[in-house]
Structure 1
């Protein structure tokens, strides 16, 4: 049975295989305690964002930080 499913999955387009992979991986992580913890963390972050407790960065700031990090990493090699 596994071989039949595998063969059918390999016939899917690249995008469909990616979606199938995501769903299969997600099915391995179904733990109510973990889901509950993530929901609480998401709620905490949204609350922090809305109240201004969380520092936010513009795209330009993040882009400059990443460019700086990449530039530093290239200089190390």
Structure 2
């Protein structure tokens, strides 16, 4: 199962279950060192760059990103 497949399945769960999962996942990060956290961010940046290069993902302007974030908060 890919991360994307897992994410689709998790997002289909009810809100309470997702909240519990989110809490457990976030709690698991507390034990990581600064170096481990930095490495995870590097890996995420590399993954995102590969998606851009492959045409799987696109970019949005900062303005559009802020508008989307504000719309979700409303």
Task: State the TM-score, normalized to the length of structure 1.
Answer: 0.35
Which protein is bigger by CA-based radius of gyration?
Answer: 1
Task: State the TM-score, normalized to the length of structure 2.
Answer: 0.36
